[in-house]
């Protein structure tokens, strides 16, 4: 019974671009807008630095959800990085969906440096979605949990 009561605490990896979304997360912080502690942020220079393998690796290592945040289209610090990221992630997510993996586990959100509230909202919503989905079973590597 104890096992059942122990709620599964999902792990969420958030890749945030340095210029917009990471700054948005900072703003969420300085505005004291909370989001679950199981969201962990990795800073990348631009959303276009995020390789699909990073996302798959996170799932392999036990993440239950992965979210990528970048500057709004048109606002990329490097002018076009998030446009490439957008295409890459669309295709990757569509492929995961095609393989029958829950599409809600992956997400892309554009969060500007001014959108601290949005950052917090997005993370809360995403964490809720992942909680509802439960443990990632379809992209897990059992060895990692051993």
Q: Under rule CB under 8 A, which residues in 14-43 are in contact with another protein?
A: 18, 22-23, 25-26, 28-30, 32-35, 37, 40-43
Burial of 117 (0-12, 13-18, 19+ CB in 10 A): middle
| Cα–Cα distance, 94 to 136 (Å, whole number) | 17
Q: Tell me: does residue 52 bind another protein (CB under 8 A).
A: yes
Buried b (16+ CB within 10 A) or exposed e, 79-102: eebbeebbebbeebbeebeeeebb
Q: Tell me: does residue 142 bind another protein (CB under 8 A).
A: yes
Q: Tell me: does residue 57 bind another protein (CB under 8 A).
A: yes
Which residue's CB is nearer to another protein, number 1 or number 31? 31
Q: Taking the complex as a whole, how short is the minimal distance between the CB of residue 3 and another protein, in angstroms?
A: 18
Q: Tell me: does residue 114 bind another protein (CB under 8 A).
A: no
């Amino acid at each position: 019974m104890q096992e059942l009561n122990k709620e599964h605490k999902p792990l969420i990896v958030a890749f945030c671009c340095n210029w917009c979304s990471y700054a948005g997360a900072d703003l969420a912080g300085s505005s004291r807008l909370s989001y679950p502690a199981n969201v962990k942020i990795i800073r990348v220079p631009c959303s276009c630095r995020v390789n699909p393998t990073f996302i798959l690796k996170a799932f392999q290592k036990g993440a239950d959800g992965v979210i990528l945040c970048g500057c709004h289209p048109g606002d990329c610090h490097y002018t076009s990085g998030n446009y490439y990221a957008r295409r890459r992630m669309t295709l990757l997510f569509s492929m995961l969906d095609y393989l029958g993996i829950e599409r809600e586990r992956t997400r892309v959100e554009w969060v500007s440096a001014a959108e601290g509230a949005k950052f917090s909202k997005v993370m809360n919503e995403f964490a809720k979605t992942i909680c509802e989905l439960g443990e990632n079973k379809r992209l897990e590597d059992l060895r990692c949990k051993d």
